[in-house]
């Protein structure tokens, strides 16, 4: 299958944390025609290191693009698309929204004929290791979804899902780096507590976490099976696992992510 031409024109509308990471991934992947927008001079200055034009005018950016990647906060999506109405009604541009909560049907009801793909990446885009879920609106064809896939593949792993899962995915992998990094930090503090030098603790923690993820990626076993390979009866590991079981570590993770999902649904009920 032919790859998208690298001179395709892409406008990143709302170059905040995620938008900036998207821009850097696309530049690294060889896309040559990227422009971006933000709202303030302060942010524009922060982005001045990028080899692209950054505008404070969304219409100017949209006029120079084939694809709009919308990465403003959810409550800004409709105001921004209203400003860009001439470009999005009738499917004149492919719109890829990475905003949480805002559904494709909500946008289709407001912008006649809009071609919209909703995506939920995560901040691991910075390391080109995002886990991104995408879903298609009703005016999207196979070519549009192929383009979205290829763009997000420059940022890591991509999976297409039914939109009914997107709020759960927002709370799961969208917010996921925050949970994993909480664990990482606890692991690191534990290393310091038992007397490891900071740099040694840091490197060993990173490689233990990467290695465990690779084990699951390459192997075909359930995590508990690999965990049991570490636990010697009456040995060292079981004492730690005992504490985690007693203090409800797993239940805490499940409750925490469920709470985030409930919050996503609450916000959705207010916003849309």
Ligand X SMILES: NC(=O)c1ccc[n+]([C@@H]2O[C@H](COP(=O)([O-])OP(=O)(O)OC[C@H]3O[C@@H](n4cnc5c(N)ncnc54)[C@H](OP(=O)(O)O)[C@@H]3O)[C@@H](O)[C@H]2O)c1
CB neighbour list of residue 68: distance below 8 Å, 6 or more residues apart: 11, 13, 62, 84, 87, 88, 93, 94, 95, 96
84 binds ligand X per the rule CB under 6 A: no
Q: CB-wise, 74 or 191, nearer to ligand X?
A: 74
Give the x/- contact pattern for ligand X in 158-187, rule: CB under 6 A.
Answer: ----------------x-------------
Q: CB-wise, 17 or 250, nearer to ligand X?
A: 17
Residue whose beta carbon is closest to ligand X: 16
122 binds ligand X per the rule CB under 6 A: yes
74 binds ligand X per the rule CB under 6 A: yes
CB neighbour list of residue 157: distance below 8 Å, 6 or more residues apart: 129, 130, 131, 132
Sign (positive or negative) of CA dihedral 70, 75, 79, 82: positive
Q: CB-wise, 91 or 174, nearer to ligand X?
A: 174
Q: Which value, in Å, is the radius of gyration of the alpha carbons in the chain?
A: 21
11 binds ligand X per the rule CB under 6 A: no
CA dist., res. 52 & res. 34, Å (int): 6
| Binding-site member from 25, 37, 104, 173 for ligand X (CB under 6 A) | 37
CA dist., res. 246 & res. 240, Å (int): 10
221-240 residues near ligand X, rule: CB under 6 A: none
Residues in contact with ligand X by CB under 6 A are 13-19, 37-40, 43, 58, 71-74, 76, 80, 98-100, 120-123, 174
């Amino acid at each position: 299958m032919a790859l998208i031409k690298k001179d395709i024109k892409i406008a990143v509308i709302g170059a905040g944390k995620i938008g900036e990471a998207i821009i850097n991934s696309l530049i690294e992947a060889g896309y040559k025609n990227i422009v971006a927008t933000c709202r303030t001079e302060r942010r524009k200055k922060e982005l001045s290191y990028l080899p692209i034009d950054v505008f404070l005018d969304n219409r100017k950016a949209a006029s120079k693009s084939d694809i709009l990647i919308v990465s403003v906060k959810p409550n800004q999506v409709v105001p921004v698309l209203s400003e860009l109405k001439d470009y999005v009604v009738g499917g004149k541009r492919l719109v890829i929204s990475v905003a949480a909560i805002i559904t494709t049907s909500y946008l289709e009801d407001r912008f006649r004929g809009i071609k919209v793909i909703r995506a939920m990446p995560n901040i691991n885009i910075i390391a080109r290791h995002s886990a991104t879920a995408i879903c298609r609106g009703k005016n999207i064809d196979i070519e549009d979804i192929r383009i979205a896939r290829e763009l997000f593949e420059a940022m890591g792993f991509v999976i297409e899902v039914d939109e009914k899962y997107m709020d759960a995915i927002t709370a799961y992998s969208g917010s996921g780096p925050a949970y994993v990094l909480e664990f990482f930090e606890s692991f690191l503090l534990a290393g310091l507590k038992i007397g490891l030098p900071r740099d040694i603790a840091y490197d060993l923690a990173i490689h233990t976490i990467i290695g465990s993820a690779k084990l699951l990626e390459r192997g075909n076993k359930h995590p508990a099976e690999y965990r049991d390979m570490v636990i010697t009866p009456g040995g060292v590991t079981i004492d730690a696992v005992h504490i985690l079981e007693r203090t409800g570590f797993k239940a805490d993770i499940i409750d925490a992510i469920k709470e985030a999902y409930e919050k996503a649904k609450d916000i959705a009920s207010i916003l849309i």
